[in-house]
């Protein structure tokens, strides 16, 4: 997978006060998106945008390109 997450996004959200229960309850992220993040799977750009809004960061702070060997 050439695009990888640079940080543990769920841990960063939790540190910012957004635990998974709050994310679901306030409909900030769906259960499917949360599960995909747990499994380091791709998520839609609209979800990346929402995470950047919540963490006050840029997409490049969350992801990076790693060349396949």
pLDDT, tens only, 8-67: 999 999 999 999 999 999 999 999 999 999 999 999 999 999 999 999 999 999 999 998
The pLDDT value recorded for residue 69 is 73
CB under 8 Å to 50, separation ≥6 — which residues? Answer: 28, 29
Question: Which pLDDT belongs to residue 20?
Answer: 95
The pair of structure tokens assigned to 36 is 């995909």
């Amino acid at each position: 997978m050439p695009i990888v997450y640079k940080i543990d996004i769920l841990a960063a959200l939790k540190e910012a006060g957004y635990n998974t229960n709050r994310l679901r309850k306030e409909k900030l992220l769906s259960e499917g998106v949360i599960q995909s993040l747990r499994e380091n799977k791709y998520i839609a750009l609209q979800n990346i945008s929402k995470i950047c809004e919540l963490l006050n960061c840029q997409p490049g702070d969350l992801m990076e390109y790693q060349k396949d060997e």
